[in-house]
């Protein structure tokens, strides 16, 4: 393919990221700074598309609910441990009551974690304070098309994450502590079952073993609880994390692609509409994309929608995800095939992989609704995860031209081939 997209297009995207980081800084979900970042993106889209073709959609959500699943899970683990250690004697309460309560807390911990964090079902959201966020949508149509038969979406998110406490302080030690978290939970559950079974069978040895076991297993349990309780730090105002790679890089690339297609309409497929969307609230459980899908689902289905979501572009080799929402939702094989074909035609290095635990993106709600959607992931795990992911070091200095240029080449090829 000829060098249609050049370094100047990638430089435009990089400079746009620098502008937002300089003028606003970090933007936690629901913060005023997140709104300011959205405003800058909206104005930049308007400069290319005109004000009539750019809209914004506000939505309400509870930004603290999603990540609260970690500390609440930690608290439930702590309650279960203390209840079993006491066995009723320290508080003058029946050991049956404390043992059953410990098992209940042991079961509630993973249920809460899975429903809120893994599956993002907004289980806890009614309990938290609501805030406003915004999705920004720029629309571009082929001037020669009378009827829109297909909709292509190119997206990213403009909010930034709370700081991951343990990645910032421990680096690779984060993964050891993460493993300890899950090991500690398993120990708590097993010991809760042993305690209760000892009471049921009137086996004093099992009860004593259980209590002694809690003391012996304090090493994994205590770090696990501490890990969960202090999983993130929000910081002041818009937070501590600039979010240059995650995920202003995607927003800037979406705007850069919009700019290019406006200036070069011959690469625009007929009967096609393209929406350049910057979602809010992604770091709180992709709430912006969930609200967008809920609001536009019938339209998205009618228009044969295909979505390319861009996420954290800091590495020249990309990962094309075959699944989303922690691997629980499968992406359309058709859209996977189309992105693979575009990468091959553009000569871009890539790998095709399923989403690993901890990987959930704005394409997830689209795929879950049966739409053709996919995320293009652009950073190395664990190397770059340890280096900057959800940390204060996620600033424009970590971005380079090559990964940005590669995304633009791949995206243009995908667009000019009608998402095929």
Out of 185-194, 255-264, 365-374, 391-400, pick the least confident.
185-194
Place of tokens 């890539």: 350
pLDDT of residue 269: 86
Q: What is the pLDDT of residue 399?
A: 98
Q: How far is CA 305 from CA 154, 324, 343, 371, 375, in A?
A: 11, 17, 20, 7, 14
Strand partners of residue 135: 57
pLDDT tens digit string along 105-144? 999 999 999 999 999 899 999 999 999 999 999 999 877 7
- The pLDDT mean for the chain works out to 91
pLDDT in tens, 191-241: 888 888 888 888 776 666 555 556 656 666 788 888 888 888 888 878 899
Question: What digits encode the pLDDT tens for the residues 60-104?
Answer: 999 999 999 999 998 998 888 888 777 655 556 778 888 899 899
Instruction: Please tell me which residue, 416 or 237, carries the higher pLDDT value.
Output: 416
Which range among 2-16, 94-108, 234-248, 306-320 has the greatest average pLDDT?
306-320
Q: Tokens 């699944």 identify what position? A: 323
pLDDT of residue 5 exceeding 60, the answer is yes
Q: What is the pLDDT of residues 387-414, one digit of tens each?
A: 999 999 999 999 999 999 999 999 999 9
Percent of the chain with pLDDT over 90: 70
What pLDDT sits at residue 2?
Answer: 47
Stretch 144-168: mean pLDDT:
92
Query: Which two three-digit tokens encode residue 399?
Result: 């971005």
User: What sign does the CA torsion over 162, 165, 169, 171 have?
Assistant: negative
Residue 1: which pLDDT band, with cuts at 50, 70 and 90?
very low
Neighbour-count burial for 332-367, b at 16+ CB within 10 Å, e otherwise: beebbebbeebbeebebebeeeebeeebbbbbbbbb
pLDDT attached to residue 78: 86
Evaluate whether 27 touches 13 at the Cβ level (below 8 Å).
Answer: no
- The half-sphere exposure of 125 on its side-chain side, counting CA atoms within 13 A, is 17
- Whole-number pLDDT of residue 144: 73
Helix and strand counts by DSSP (H, E) for the chain: 14, 12
pLDDT at 215: 63
Over residues 253-282, mean pLDDT: 94
- Full-model pTM: 0.93
Contact 136, 248 (CB under 8 A): no
């Amino acid at each position: 393919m000829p060098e249609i997209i050049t370094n100047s297009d990638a430089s435009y995207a990089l400079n746009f990221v620098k502008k937002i980081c300089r003028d606003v800084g970090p933007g936690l979900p629901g913060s005023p700074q997140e709104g300011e970042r959205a405003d800058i993106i909206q104005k930049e889209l308007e400069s290319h598309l005109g004000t009539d073709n750019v809209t914004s959609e506000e939505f309400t959500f509870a930004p603290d609910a999603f990540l609260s699943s970690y500390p609440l899970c930690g608290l439930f683990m702590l309650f279960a441990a203390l209840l079993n250690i006491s066995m009723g004697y320290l508080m003058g309460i029946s050991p049956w009551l404390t043992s059953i309560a410990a098992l209940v807390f042991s079961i509630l911990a993973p249920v809460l974690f899975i429903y809120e964090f893994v599956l993002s079902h907004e289980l806890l959201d009614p309990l938290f304070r609501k805030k406003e966020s915004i999705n920004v949508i720029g629309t571009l149509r082929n001037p020669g098309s009378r009827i829109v038969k297909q909709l292509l979406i190119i997206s990213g998110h403009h909010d930034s994450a709370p700081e991951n406490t343990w990645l910032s302080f421990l680096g690779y030690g984060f993964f050891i502590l993460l493993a300890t978290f899950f090991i500690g939970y398993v120990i708590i559950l097993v010991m809760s079952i042993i305690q209760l079974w000892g009471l049921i069978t009137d086996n004093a040895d099992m009860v004593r073993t259980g209590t002694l076991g809690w003391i012996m297993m304090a090493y994994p349990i205590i770090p696990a609880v501490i890990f969960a309780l202090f999983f993130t730090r929000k910081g002041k105002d818009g937070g501590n994390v600039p979010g240059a790679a995650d995920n202003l890089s995607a927003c800037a690339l979406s705007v850069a692609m919009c700019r290019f297609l406006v200036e070069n309409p011959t690469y625009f497929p007929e009967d096609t509409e393209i929406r350049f969307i910057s979602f809010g609230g992604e770091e709180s459980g992709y709430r912006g994309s969930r609200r967008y899908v809920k609001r536009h689902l019938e339209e998205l289905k009618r228009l044969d929608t295909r979505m390319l979501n861009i996420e954290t572009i800091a590495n020249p080799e990309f990962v094309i995800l075959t699944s989303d929402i922690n691997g629980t939702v499968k992406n359309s094989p058709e859209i996977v095939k189309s992105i693979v074909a575009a990468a091959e035609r553009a000569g871009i290095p890539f790998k095709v992989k399923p989403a690993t635990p901890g990987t959930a993106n704005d394409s997830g709600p689209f795929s879950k609704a049966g739409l053709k959607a996919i995320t293009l992931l652009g950073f190395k795990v664990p190397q770059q995860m340890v280096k900057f992911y959800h940390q204060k070091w996620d600033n424009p200095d970590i971005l380079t031209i090559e990964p940005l240029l590669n995304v633009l080449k791949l995206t243009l090829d995908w667009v000019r081939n009608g998402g095929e």
